[in-house]
Every structure is written in C-alpha cells, then in structure tokens.
Amino acid sequence: MILQSLKIALESLWANKMRSFLSMLGIIIGVGAVIAIVSVGTGSTQQITSRIANLGSNMITVYPRAARGQGGRVSSVSSQEKFSLELTDYIEKFCPSVIKVIPVKQVSGRLISGDINVNATILGTNINYAEVNNYEVDKGNFISENDDGERRQVIVLGSQLAEDLFENDNPIAKRIKVNYDGQVYMFDVIAVMKEKGGSMGGSLDDQSYIPLSVAMDKLTNSDYVSSYIAQAASSEKASTAVNELKNFMAKFLDDEDQEQFRIISQDEILDTVSSVTKTMSMMLGGIAAISLLVGGIGIMNIMLVSVTERTREIGVRKALGARNVHILFQFLMESLNLTSFGGILGIGFGWAVAYFLSQYGDWPMVIAPLSIGLAFGFALFIGIFFGLYPAMKAAKMNPVDALRYE
C-alpha cells in the first residue's frame, strides 16, 4: 500500500511540477545552508588550526609591555630593560614545563646588495629559533653556536627577502651591507629559508636572521632582548608552562598585576579561534535550521492548499474504494517526497556552495557525513510532521461532502 501511495503521490507531484519545485525550494535552501555552513565552519577551522600549529611546536612568546607610568610620571625602569639574556637561563630553570627558551632581539634595518636595498626586520637569535618555529632551511646552514659565540657577521635570509635582494642569483656566500641606525655593517649570507607564509607577527619570509650576540653587542649595544620564545615540553603541558611563566615573570619583575609583560601562547590562540568559529557555526547552523523549519511550514501551507483544491479528487477516490489510510498515505507521501527530494537537491546545492566557498577561501572542503545525515533526516522529519495535519484533514473528509465540493 505504501508503494502504491508513493506512486500516486509521485504522479500528482509530477503533474504540478512548478508548484512542487517552489514548495521544495525552502527545504533545498534550508538543507543546503546547513550543509554548506557546517562545511565552511569545519573547513575554515581546520585551516586556521593547521596554520597556527604550523607556527611552531607549543610556542609561548613573552613580550615586555610598553612602559606605563602613573599620574604623569614615567615609571623609573622600563620593564623592557629587565628582559636580559641571563633571564633565559632562569626561565629554563624555574619553569619545569618549559624545555627551551630562545631570546630574540628584533631590530629593523636596511639590507643592501649591489644597487638593491630593502628595509627588513632583522632578528638576532640562536640556533634553536628555526627548530622551534618549524622553520626549515632551503639552502646553506642556519646560524650555528660558533657563529653566535664568535660574533660572526653572518645573515640568513627569508625566502622573499632573498628573492628581492638577489632575484634569481644564488645568495649563498654573497656579501651584503646592513644599514642599522646610520652605521653600515658587512654580512655574509649563509642560508636562505624555505617559504613559510604568515605567522603571528607578519610573514617570516620577509625577515632576516643574525646571531643574537651580533645583534646585541655590535648593532644595538644593549643588554636586553625584545622577547623570549619558550617551548613547552608538550602540547598537554602548554597551559602549565604558561602559568609557570606568568608566575615567574610576575615575581621576577615584581609585577603582581602582570602589567609589564604579555604572554601569548599558541594554545590560547587556538582556543580562542576554535571557540569563535564554533560559536559562529552553531549560530549560523541554527539560522539554517530555522530556514528549514520555515521551509517545512511552506510545505504544510502548500499541502493544505492542495488538499482543499483536490477535495473532489479525494471524494472520487473514496467513492471508488479508497480507505482513509490510503488517502492519508497518499498525501503524507506527497509531502515526504517534497521534503526528501528537496533534501537530496539541498545536499547537492550545499555541496556545491561549500565547494565554491572552499575554493574561494582556500581551505579544505570537509563535508561531514553527520551533517548530511542530520540535515536530510531533519528534512524527512519535517515532511512527516508538517504533512501529517493536511493528510489527516484529507483522510477524514466525508465522501459525500467531498464529492459535492465545487
């Protein structure tokens, strides 16, 4: 009987193609929106998390905050000056969850090769920097311990910087001039890094790297660094490491309110990003679900119109021997067909939208089978739920009244 009701329902839907399509539209858009939004949500989250993970392994950065005074007086000693090189060892000692601390001295200068010059960020750092940042050497070797110990004037170039300065020539062993603060220093290029792309503070590819000792003693002649990069022992220990660092820095700087330093961890960024995207996709998914519901109400509306319009037909069918349950199933099948076809088209539609958006946004296209199942199941549920009332109305009709209906 169900099969036969299905056949009758299909025939009558086919007879009203345009109307069927229009009433399906709500479901198509609803299901499509749910699938597309969930896909975009997961795809973009994956992209962002993988980018953040790519920044380095369990990296925590400690910056000094800009000096702040009270009541118009500048505080006597800027916290920045307390970021000494020796502190590196203390942090490693007092923060057991931190396995490595890399001091970074950041300056900007002008790099000159022949008649080309480029303004660039120059980071004074040590051998560990590349490793912690998941940053690989393309040609040559990264700064070694000897380079640092002997204060060799050697420089490593980011991929973009190397291209800007040397175009297609091999920069290794070439000599460039570095103009910092009006002084000119000669540096030998020892390595070019692989392309890496964005990071927490701009592109790494535009930066250059020199031994920390050179940056501190030769270029700036200062005894404090710009920041520390601490590496947590593992991602599980990252939050413990952050707390240890906070406590240590607060004590060391005598700064209970933690106003003189700032700690940014990868986990923190990941958490923020994923909670933001989660909230966003839940909100958008909710809106899409509401549009599905509205589509369902549209279906009910159409079905009610259809039942009234076909009162005569219902009378004839009953006169010819249709039982109430035949009529019930016929109309229920019609609404179920509308929503299930709408659901299938909606899956295709959502898929296409998700594909184009993923191409546009350059993130992986992820279609969760769960979201398909959920959206389709919800569409079927709506078909039954909103189809039931009109179908019952049709089934309950008195055959005599139905036959007389004009």
Tell me which of 108, 324, 352, 359 binds another protein, using CB under 8 A. Answer: 324
Give the CA count within 13 Å in the CB-facing half-sphere of 402: 23
Inter-CA distances, 316 with 16, 176, 291, 406, Å: 19, 95, 37, 13
Tell me which of 65, 313, 344, 392 binds another protein, using CB under 8 A. Answer: 313
- Contact assessment for residue 136 and residue 125, using Cβ atoms and an 8 Å cutoff: no
Tell me which of 105, 152, 196, 318 binds another protein, using CB under 8 A. Answer: 318
Task: Confirm or reject binding of residue 325 to another protein (CB under 8 A).
Answer: yes
Q: How far is the CB of 396 from another protein (least distance, A)?
A: 10
Q: Which stretch binds another protein (CB under 8 A): 35-43, 76-84, 338-346, 393-401?
A: 393-401
Q: Which stretch binds another protein (CB under 8 A): 283-291, 292-300, 301-309, 310-318?
A: 310-318
Inter-CA distances, 213 with 4, 86, 107, 154, 291, Å: 86, 13, 13, 11, 62
Task: Confirm or reject binding of residue 307 to another protein (CB under 8 A).
Answer: no
Task: Confirm or reject binding of residue 338 to another protein (CB under 8 A).
Answer: no
Q: How far is the CB of 389 from another protein (least distance, A)?
A: 20
Task: Confirm or reject binding of residue 314 to another protein (CB under 8 A).
Answer: no
Element (H, E) at 47: helix 17-54
Tell me which of 316, 357, 365, 388 binds another protein, using CB under 8 A. Answer: 316
Q: How far is the CB of 313 from another protein (least distance, A)?
A: 6
Inter-CA distances, 10 with 167, 285, 289, 336, 391, Å: 67, 31, 26, 10, 15
Task: Confirm or reject binding of residue 297 to another protein (CB under 8 A).
Answer: no
User: Cα separation of 110 and 200, whole Å?
Assistant: 23
User: Cα separation of 322 and 316, whole Å?
Assistant: 9
CA 16 to chain centre: 44
Q: How far is the CB of 400 from another protein (least distance, A)?
A: 5
Residues of this chain that interact with another protein (CB under 8 A) are 1, 4, 8, 11-12, 15, 312-313, 315-326, 398-400, 403
